[in-house]
């Protein structure tokens, strides 16, 4: 009997496919998310849009919040650690969290190194905006990738850019000859073995979810249409006018992402989505997607 | 022979691949009308609360109960096993209520307790590599249910006539013998129907 194998960790992410993972800040929101059909919840002290508003250093959530959420739902519970913050990740693992997000939404703790994720029994998800980042994170042991997007903006444009970019890079690698792959591994800054896998299979070796800017059912469906395996919704649900309705509608739109009549139906009378931010209004320091290396 | 994989949420593509390796034509099923075109169905792993909720919403509960009443085979893995059971420990409401057994959700613990192991399954010659992810187990089985495998005294695979269920994920390995077992069940049901 073996725990924490790559098959067990990656398999856990496979089971989330076609699903919606929702950010929650307390037990009550976690119950709303579960009842709406979320496949997992991300337990946080503040959702990304609040982190933006508050400024300062954003850290791992208070363990009380994480434990409270774990107590009330039977679906998996995820939590975020700062980039490179080994101890925050170990603390969350010790609480029994089911999945760790080494996340650019929090203030990075290390400007050079990410966490060695092979050193954990619990699997990790990491953000990526291109194939190089995705494969570096997988090399470090990530079992799931998500686009970075631009968290807490309610603006889907960056997640679209990242998903399209990664998929177009994958297609390019797929069509390269074997001798071109050595130089491409150097260009991307990734291990040759991982790149060969992408060349042969035409996809990442782990699932790739969309995250960072999903605010409406149609946003979620668009990301599925672009090839996402599933969707993370951060501020989009509990910063909208009617979280329960938004949560249910986003779940349905993700399952039936190419049934436009159904998406029209679930989009009726939802009330206002979260207020969005135009990306060009962000200062370089406010761009979360540029964190991570 | 055409076998469907219920594609509301979960690991669908892996089941399609395993069914194809076992020689069956495999299709994803998202709408109840599609049940008419298929001879058997797999309910995949995923989150049972999500899958159960969406099944209810889109009329799959009654439709799959009718599908089963026609003697067409169903195979549930992990969350799919929970969906097939008549009783879920600690919950008032079951989903399809087809198999005479009580299941316990997340019975082995959280993700950090998830594991893989070699497992003997009755009807399959050599042990199979079984991947258990936040897996349920079968607490007890009633009349008509045959136990096919046991792990540390806990029931993890069972069959009741045309219904098959396991706690683990046979679709996550390249070994498709359990899918072959199910494909054979579907072939048998087609032969009987004729």
Nearest 5°: the CA angle B194, B124, A14 is: 90
Structure confidence by residue, pLDDT tens digits, A201-237: 999 999 999 999 999 999 999 999 999 999 999 899 9
pLDDT at A287 over 90: yes
Structure confidence by residue, pLDDT tens digits, B153-182: 999 999 999 999 999 999 999 999 999 999
Q: Does A165 touch chain B (CB under 8 A)?
A: no
Structure confidence by residue, pLDDT tens digits, B14-37: 999 999 999 999 999 999 999 999
DSSP character string of chain A? -EES-HHHHHHHHHTTTT-EEEEESSHHHHHHHHHHT-SEEEE-SS-HHHHHHH-S---PPPHHHHHHHHHH-SS-EEEEEETT-HHHHHHHHHHT-SEEEEETTSPPS-SS----GGG-SS-EEEEESSHHHHHHHHHTT-SEEEE---TTS--THHHHHHHHHHHHHHHHHHTS-HHHHHHHHHHHT--HHHHHHHHHHSS-SSEEEB-SS--SHHHHHHHHHTT-SSEEESHHHHTSS-HHHHHHHHHHHHHTTT-HHHHHHHTTT----PPP--GGGS-GGG-GGG---
- What is the predicted pLDDT for the residue at A201? 97
Residue of B nearest to A40 (CA): B47
- What is the predicted pLDDT for the residue at B54? 97
> Averaged over A77-102, what is the pLDDT?
98
Rounded to the nearest angstrom, the minimum Cα separation between B117 and chain A is 5
Q: Does A91 touch chain B (CB under 8 A)?
A: no
In the residue annotation, B166 being an active-site residue is answered as no
- What is the predicted pLDDT for the residue at A194? 98
Structure confidence by residue, pLDDT tens digits, A110-142: 999 999 999 999 999 999 999 999 999 999 999
- What is the predicted pLDDT for the residue at B127? 97
> Averaged over A263-287, what is the pLDDT?
93
Structure confidence by residue, pLDDT tens digits, B101-157: 999 999 999 999 999 999 999 999 999 999 999 999 999 999 999 999 999 999 999
In the residue annotation, B152 being an active-site residue is answered as no
List C-alpha distances in Å: A41 to A100, B85, B100, B126: 11, 26, 32, 39
> Which of A14, A17, A98 lies at the smallest CB-CB distance from B172?
A14
Structure confidence by residue, pLDDT tens digits, A97-112: 999 999 999 999 999 9
> Which of B78, B111, B172 lies at the smallest CB-CB distance from A99?
B111
pLDDT at B194 over 90: no
**Mean confidence (pLDDT) of chain B:** 97
Residues in chain B within 8 Å Cβ distance of A1: 115-117
Burial letters B28-39, b for 16+ CB under 10 A, else e: ebbebebbeebb
A116 labelled as ligand-binding? no
The answer to whether residues B13 and A201 touch, using CB atoms and an 8 Å cutoff, is no
pLDDT at A172 over 90: yes
> Which of B9, B111, B132 lies at the smallest CB-CB distance from A18?
B9
Which residues, 6+ apart, have CB-to-CB distance to A93 below 8 Å? Answer: A100, A120, A121, A122, B112
Residue of A nearest to B152 (CA): A1
The model's pTM: 0.96
Confidence of residue B12 (pLDDT cuts 50, 70, 90): very high
pLDDT at A199 over 90: yes
Count of C-beta atoms within a 10 Å radius of residue B113: 18
Residues in chain A within 8 Å Cβ distance of B49: 34, 37, 74-75
Q: Does A90 touch chain B (CB under 8 A)?
A: no
Structure confidence by residue, pLDDT tens digits, A20-41: 999 999 999 999 999 999 999 9
- What is the predicted pLDDT for the residue at B193? 86
Judged by DSSP in three states, B41 sits in strand
Q: Which domains does chain A have, with CATH numbers?
A: 6-159+205-267 (3.20.20.70)
List C-alpha distances in Å: A252 to A164, B7, B14: 23, 12, 22
Tell me whether residues B117 and A255 touch, CB distance under 8 A.
no
In the residue annotation, B169 being an active-site residue is answered as yes
Structure confidence by residue, pLDDT tens digits, A233-256: 989 999 999 999 999 999 999 999
Catalytic residue from among A80, A129, A148, A239: A80
């Amino acid at each position: 009997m073996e725990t924490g194998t790559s098959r067990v960790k990656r398999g856990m992410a496979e089971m989330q496919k076609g699903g919606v993972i929702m950010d929650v800040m307390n037990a009550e929101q976690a119950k709303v998310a579960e009842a709406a059909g979320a496949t997992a919840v991300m337990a946080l002290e503040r959702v990304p849009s609040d982190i933006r508003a508050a400024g300062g250093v954003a850290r791992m959530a208070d363990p009380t919040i994480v434990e409270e959420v774990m107590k009330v739902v039977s679906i998996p519970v995820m939590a975020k650690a700062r980039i490179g913050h080994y101890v925050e990740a170990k603390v969350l693992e010790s609480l029994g969290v089911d999945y760790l997000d080494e996340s650019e939404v929090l203030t990075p703790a290390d400007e050079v190194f990410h966490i060695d994720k092979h050193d954990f029994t619990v699997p990790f998800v990491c953000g990526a905006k291109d194939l190089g980042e995705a494969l570096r994170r997988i090399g470090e042991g990530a079992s799931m990738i998500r686009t970075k997007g631009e968290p807490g903006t309610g603006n889907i444009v960056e997640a679209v850019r990242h998903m399209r970019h990664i998929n177009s890079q994958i297609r390019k690698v797929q069509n390269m000859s074997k001798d071109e792959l050595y130089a491409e591994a150097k260009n991307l800054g990734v291990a040759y073995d991982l790149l060969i896998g992408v060349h042969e299979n035409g996809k990442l070796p782990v699932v790739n979810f969309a995250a960072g800017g999903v605010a409406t059912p149609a946003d979620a469906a668009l990301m599925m249409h672009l090839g996402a395996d599933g969707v993370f919704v951060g501020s989009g649900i509990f910063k909208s006018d009617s979280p329960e309705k938004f949560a249910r509608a986003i779940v349905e739109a993700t399952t039936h992402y190419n049934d436009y009549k159904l998406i029209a139906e679930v989009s009726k009378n939802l009330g206002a989505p979260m207020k969005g931010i135009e990306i060009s209004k962000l200062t370089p320091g406010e761009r979360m997607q540029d964190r991570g290396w | 022979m055409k076998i469907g994989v219920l594609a509301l949420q979960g690991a669908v593509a892996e089941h399609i691949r395993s069914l194809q390796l076992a020689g069956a034509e495999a299709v994803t099923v998202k709408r109840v009308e599609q049940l008419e075109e298929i001879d058997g169905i797999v309910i995949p792993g995923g989150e049972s609360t999500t899958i159960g909720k969406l099944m209810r919403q889109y009329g799959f509960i009654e439709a799959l109960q009718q599908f089963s009443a026609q003697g067409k085979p169903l195979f549930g893995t992990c969350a799919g096993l929970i969906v097939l059971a008549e009783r879920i420990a600690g919950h008032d409401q079951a989903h399809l209520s087809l198999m005479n057994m009580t299941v316990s959700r997340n019975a082995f613990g959280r993700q950090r307790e998830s594991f893989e192991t070699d497992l003997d399954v009755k009807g399959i010659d050599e042990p199979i590599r079984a991947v258990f992810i936040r897996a349920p187990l079968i607490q007890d089985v009633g009349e008509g249910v045959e136990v096919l495998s046991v792990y540390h005294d806990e029931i993890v695979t069972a069959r009741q006539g045309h219904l098959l269920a396991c706690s683990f994920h046979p679709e996550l390995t390249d070994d498709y013998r359990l899918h072959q077992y199910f494909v054979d069940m579907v072939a048998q049901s087609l032969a009987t129907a004729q």
